[in-house]
Amino acid sequence: MKKEILEFFTRNWIWKLIAIVCATLAWFLYINLEDPIIKRAFTVKVEILNEQEAESNNDQTIEYDPSDFTVAVWVRGRRSELDDFKSSYITATADFKNIQPGKSQVNIQYSLNAGKAGTFELVDNQNVHTIEVKVESNITVNLPLEYEIEGTPAEGYVRLEDDSTVYASPDVISIYGAESKVNAVETAKVIVNIDGATASMPAKGEVLLLDKDGNTIPRDSFKLVSANLASVYVSIYKTKTISIISNITGDTPDGYVYMNDAGLSQKQVTVYGSEVDVAKIDRIVLPEVKLDTCTSNFEQEYDLEAMLEEATEGTVHLYNPESTTVKLTFTVKKKEVANLTLPRDQIEIVGLSSLYEASIPADSVNISITGLQEDLEAVEVADLKGKIDVSALLEGLQSVKLEVTGLPEGVTIYGSEPVVSVQMSLIQPETGSSVPIPDL
């Protein structure tokens, strides 16, 4: 049996060997023609390794273009097998573990998953693709929080432009992140609106990070911003318009005239304060001015803010006044004296008894009058009338007070009343008639 088998393999062995070689060649030709080995590209997502460790351990920020996350990987294998090949069979990684601050390129490493390495081959890929990265040290900057207040309170209420009671909370914003990005922040600001406000209020707004041109920098540009929102405490005050009142009392000394022309440089002012405090005040009364000490024109300036301070214990203040003072002025004039001559024919004699006749020996009577110069100049002698009452006079040259009328308002007799000399004479009866003797 063994001999027969050995004879089978050794008989015509050359032809048999040629047949085997030809069959093998035919099989290879068939395979390469029907199912050739080819290369095909697959899109693979790159996995970043050790990014967080590289940032946290070295206190740095790593930036890169997200479009570098996918690459084309070439795979070689049988066409029939590549038709069933999936991108997930390939692993592409970029390891950030040892990168340092600055700009650098990180190579992308590729590998086939277990079980695929014997069937497929990665070609033309190693160290071909890289990811461009920028690495910066992280810094922290603290910026004072600025605030901007928009809007207008309700009518009758105000917000003061320079109000020391206004404050922001928090008042400092901490920004942590890449050095170039943090240094680009010029200002931290919060904008709040107080439209229609009638009371002091904490107004809230978003914290904005602005560059030197006033453009907003997105918050996600940084690792950390200490506050997203901030409050601004805004004081709102009640306003009220109140009157300024002068307080002039008494009469001027003899010989002087108060012209009743008191004037104020401003007659009302607007004040502000809390609703309760403002309701308690409706006017400012100036200190008393007594006319009995005034012998000349009066002018006095008063400090309104000081008067409000005293009257309200500092709770109410002037709001945008034309002036923080008010000036009180009035005129006091000295009376002048003038001498007039009143003609005899302008003096009326009244109360004359039928037993007497009366006559004024003098052609005229001198009268002294007093008043303001302009009033004295307006006196016309022709408009004056004198009157004497002789009802109580007896025979002889008698003196009697002269009553003068027709003087303008503001003009009076100066000194004691004028006196007129009157000659009183008994009427002589006719012969044969009896004359009654007046009672003595």
Out of 2.60.120.380, 3.40.50.12160, 2.170.120.30, 3.90.199.10, select the CATH number for domain 337-426. Answer: 2.170.120.30
Q: What is the pLDDT of residue 153?
A: 96
CATH 2.102.10.10 fits 138-235, yes or no: no
Answer whether residue 73 shows pLDDT above 50.
Answer: yes
- pLDDT at residue 440 in the model: 42
Give the model's pLDDT for residue 16: 57
- Give 249-306 pLDDT, tens digit per residue: 999 999 999 999 999 999 999 999 999 999 999 999 999 999 999 999 999 999 999 9
pLDDT tens digits, one per residue of 27-70: 555 455 556 888 888 888 888 888 888 888 778 888 877 766 78
- Kindly state the helix (H) or strand (E) to which residue 148 belongs, with its residue range: strand 130-150
- Top pLDDT among 234 and 13 is at 234
Give the CB-side neighbour count of residue 46, counting CA atoms within 13 A: 24
The whole-number pLDDT of residue 94 equals 85
Residue 291, number of CB atoms within 10 A of its CB: 17
> In angstroms, what CA-CA distances link 399 with 345, 358, 392, 426?
18, 12, 11, 17
255: Cβ–Cβ under 8 A, 6 or more apart, which residues? Answer: 334, 335, 370
Kindly indicate whether the domain formed by 35-128 is annotated with CATH number 1.10.287. Answer: no
How would residue 216 be classed by pLDDT, with cut points 50, 70 and 90?
A: very high
pLDDT of residue 1: 58
CATH number for the domain running over 240-334 = 2.170.120.40
Lowest mean pLDDT among 17-31, 47-61, 145-159: 17-31
Percent of the chain having pLDDT more than 70? 87
Tokens 């922040």 locate to 185
Summarize pLDDT for 97-144 with one digit per residue, the tens. 888 777 778 888 888 887 666 677 777 655 567 888 888 889 999 999
Does 208 have pLDDT greater than 80?
Answer: yes
Tell me: pLDDT of 427 over 70: yes
Q: pLDDT tens for residues 294-335? A: 999 999 999 999 999 999 999 999 998 888 999 999 999 999
Where residue 8 falls among pLDDT bands split at 50, 70, 90?
A: low
Maximal CA-CA distance, the chain: 230
Q: What are the start-end ranges of the E strands in 179-322?
A: 187-193, 201-210, 224-225, 229-234, 237-245, 248-249, 256-258, 263-264, 268-273, 283-285, 289-290, 298-303, 316-318
What average pLDDT does the structure give for the chain?
A: 87
Q: How far apart are CA 230 and CA 189, in angstroms?
A: 9
Residue type, 199: A
